[in-house]
Amino acid sequence: KQEVTQIPAALSVPEGENLVLNCSFTDSAIYNLQWFRQDPGKGLTSLLLIQSSQREQTSGRLNASLDKSSGRSTLYIAASQPGDSATYLCAVNTDKLIFGTGTRLQVFP
């Protein structure tokens, strides 16, 4: 059974820091991996999708990498801002999306 783990569960950093959020999964047979952002009381916003054949994807200050063989993905956030404060979720697609429980990020001024 596919299991997805995100570490750390919570993170509090000062503005301007570069961050790395981690996601690990137990079964490497995936179609793709998706990173989402969720603000309190809101739905999920898709940030990046990495296909199983890709190693990384970039969007603005966000960079996501995928190492399928080791079952790991990282989301790198450059020059963090208070507006980045949210919960970040990763999900692996094995015909269905299996979600991690998220990393709650707080960026303070």
Partner 1 sequence: DAGITQSPRHKVTETGTPVTLRCHQTENHRYMYWYRQDPGHGLRLIHYSYGVKDTDKGEVSDGYSVSRSKTEDFLLTLESATSSQTSVYFCAISAAQETQYFGPGTRLLVL
φ, ψ at 103 (rounded to 5°)? -120, 120
Binders in 48-87 for partner 1, by CB under 8 A = 49
For 53, residues 6+ apart whose C-beta sits below 8 A from its C-beta are none
* Binding flag, residue 102, partner 1 (CB under 8 A): yes
Please identify which residue in 34, 65, 73, 103 interacts with partner 1, judged by CB under 8 A.
34
Size of the site for partner 1 (CB under 8 A): 20
Please identify which residue in 11, 13, 62, 97 interacts with partner 1, judged by CB under 8 A.
97
Question: Of the candidates 44, 72, 66, 38, which has an alpha carbon nearest to the alpha carbon of residue 53?
Answer: 66
Residues belonging to the chain = 109
Residues that bind partner 1 (CB under 8 A): 31-32, 34, 36, 42-46, 49, 89, 91, 93, 95-97, 99-102
